[in-house]
Amino acid sequence: MADHLVDTNVLIVGSAAVEPKYTDVSVDADGIEVVFKWLAAFRDDAARKLVLDDLWKIWDEYNHKLNGQHFGLQVVHHKLQACLRTEPVQYDGNGYGVVPPALSAVDSSDKKFVAAALNDPTSIHIVNAADSDWKQHQAVLQQHGVLVVELLP
C-alpha cells in the first residue's frame, strides 16, 4: 500500500471549498463527492500515511489555502497524529523544491511534491483531483518512477 503526497487541490475539492476565495478550480458536485469519499477512506486507513516534506512547506501551503473548518485539513490533522511520514526535500533560493533538470517544466509550486516523491517513488504516490498540470507532465514523471493518482477524469 502506498503512502500519499496529497496535492492541496484534493483538500480544497474534498472540502467543497471550490470558490474563488480558495482556488480557481471548478468541480461539479459529483466530483466533490468522489474526492470527499477518497479523503474519508484515506483518513480511516491507518496503513496509508500522509507524506510531508521535512521542512513542512507542504503543511504551510495547506494552512495558507484552508482553515480548520475544512474537511481536507481535518484529514491532515488526523494523519499528523497517527500516520505521518516525512521526506527530505531540498529547496532552491526561490523556495521551490529541487528536482532533476528533466522535471524542470513541472509547475514550480508542485516541485516540492515531486522532490519528496522521488525519495521513494515505489511507495509514495502523489494524489491529484483537479490540477491539469499533473496530466501534462505525466510521461516524464513516469519516466522517473513518480505515480500521480488522478481522482477525477
- Count of structural domains, the chain: 1
Name the phi and psi angles at 18, rounded to 5: -85, 70
Entry pTM: 0.93
Residues of the domain holding 89: 3-150
Sign of CA dihedral 141, 152, 50, 93: positive
Predicted pLDDT at 24: 58
Three-state SS letters, the chain: CCEEEECHHHHHHHCCCCCCCCCCCCCCHHHHHHHHHHHHHHHHCCCCCEEEECCCHHHHHHHHHCCCCCHHHHHHHHHHHHCEEEECCCECCCCCECCCHHHCCCCHHHHHHHHHHCCCCCCEEEEECCCCHHHHCHHHHHHCCCEEEECCC
Predicted pLDDT at 19: 61
Predicted pLDDT at 87: 98
Q: What is the CATH number of the domain that holds 92?
A: 3.40.50
Predicted pLDDT at 55: 97
Predicted pLDDT at 17: 74
Q: What is the pLDDT along the chain (153 residues), one digit of tens a residue?
A: 799 999 999 999 999 876 644 455 678 889 999 999 999 999 999 999 999 999 999 999 999 999 999 999 999 999 999 899 999 999 999 999 999 999 999 999 999 999 999 999 999 999 999 998 999 999 999 999 999 999 998
